[in-house]
């Protein structure tokens, strides 16, 4: 499979998503937009498009961030969806999927930074791709906003601080507001770029301190993510063979 990452900042790294791709010896390509690299121009050559997070929002203009083109990314996402490719959005990426499908993003009720549990909805508990997640799973968070919902969208999981943690837009398109890709290396990068937010940790119910972030074990959620990606890939391969 050919997996393409859209990466908005060097500190919002693909983490466990990239680890999974390398473990399976998939072809990997990148649009590191913070370096001025172009978005993919041949969607038909890609099997999986993964759009990572960033401090931007879908409403961020090119005047505010010259290397981030929200509308262009939404067009690439929509093209991949129409071409029946796997599309996964993480944080900002999940919000861009919703926007591309006509569902505006929203502000999350709570700021979440750290590792906190998500709860699966009844739909999520009965969804075959999330069968291994159980009723609840502690995962990574680093956000203020959340993705919009289309009429067809299904909420797979929510948290106490955010009602839209995982959203299924269709059988090949998923938005993860949560960060199941976090590893200790990625967390260190995020800590280095989130000094002001983390200084105010005590003001928020769901914001960890740097020491707490460093002490968390991220391996279980990484393994659950790997299982989800394995099943999703098998579904995709079975669909393209029909």
Q: What is the pLDDT of residue 242?
A: 62
Dist CA 68 CA 64 (whole Å)? 9
Mean pLDDT of 20-27: 98
Average pLDDT score over residue span 129-154: 97
Judge contact between 171 and 232, C-beta under 8 A: no
CA gap 99, 34 in Å, rounded: 21
Mean pLDDT of 153-180: 98
Give the 3-state DSSP-derived string for the chain, with helices as H, strands as E and coil as C. Answer: CEEEEEECCCCCCCCHHHHHHHHCCCEEEEEEHHHCCCCCCCHHHCCEEEECCCCCCCCCCCCCCCCCCHHHHHHHHHHHHHCCCEEEEECHHHHHHHHHCCCCCEEEEEEEEEEEEEEECHHHHCCHHHHHHCCEEEEEEEEEEECCCCCCCEEEEECCCCCCCEEEEECCEEEECCECCCCHHHHHHHHHCCHHHHHCHHHCCCECCHHHHHHCCCHHHHHHHHHHHHHHHHHHHHHHCC
Average pLDDT (93-120) is: 97
Task: Identify the CA nearest to 145 among candidates 90, 73, 192, 222.
Answer: 90
State mean pLDDT over 113-137. Answer: 97
pLDDT of residue 32: 98
What are the structural domains of the chain?
2-240 (3.40.50.880)
Percent of the chain with pLDDT over 70: 99
Q: How do residues 217-237 score in pLDDT, each as one tens digit?
A: 999 999 999 999 999 999 999
Q: What's the average model confidence in pLDDT over 19-23?
A: 98
Average pLDDT over residues 54-68: 96
Indicate if the pLDDT at residue 240 is higher than 90: no
Q: pLDDT value at position 220?
A: 97
Q: Give me the pLDDT at residue 239, please.
A: 85
């Amino acid at each position: 499979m050919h997996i393409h990452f859209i990466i908005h900042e060097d500190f919002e790294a693909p983490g466990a998503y990239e680890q999974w791709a390398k473990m399976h010896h998939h072809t990997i390509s990148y649009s590191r937009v913070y370096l001025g690299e172009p978005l993919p121009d041949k969607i038909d050559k890609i099997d999986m498009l993964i759009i990572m997070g960033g401090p931007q929002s879908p409403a961020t203009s090119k005047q505010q961030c010259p290397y981030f083109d929200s509308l262009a990314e939404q067009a690439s996402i929509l093209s991949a969806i129409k071409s029946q490719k796997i599309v996964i959005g993480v944080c900002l990426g999940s919000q861009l999927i919703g926007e591309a499908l006509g569902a505006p993003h929203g502000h999350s009720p709570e700021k979440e930074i750290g590792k906190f549990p998500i709860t699966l909805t009844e739909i999520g508990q009965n969804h075959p791709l999330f069968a291994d997640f159980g009723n609840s799973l502690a995962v990574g968070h680093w956000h203020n906003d959340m993705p919009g919902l289309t009429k067809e969208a299904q909420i797979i999981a929510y948290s106490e601080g955010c009602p839209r943690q995982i959203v299924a837009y269709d059988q090949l398109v998923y938005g993860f507001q949560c960060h199941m890709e976090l590893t200790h290396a990625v967390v260190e990068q995020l800590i280095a770029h989130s000094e002001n937010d983390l200084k105010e940790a005590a003001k928020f119910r769901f914001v960890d301190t740097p020491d707490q972030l460093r002490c968390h074990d991220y391996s279980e959620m990484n393994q659950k993510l790997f299982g989800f990606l394995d099943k999703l890939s098998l579904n995709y391969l079975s669909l393209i063979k029909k």
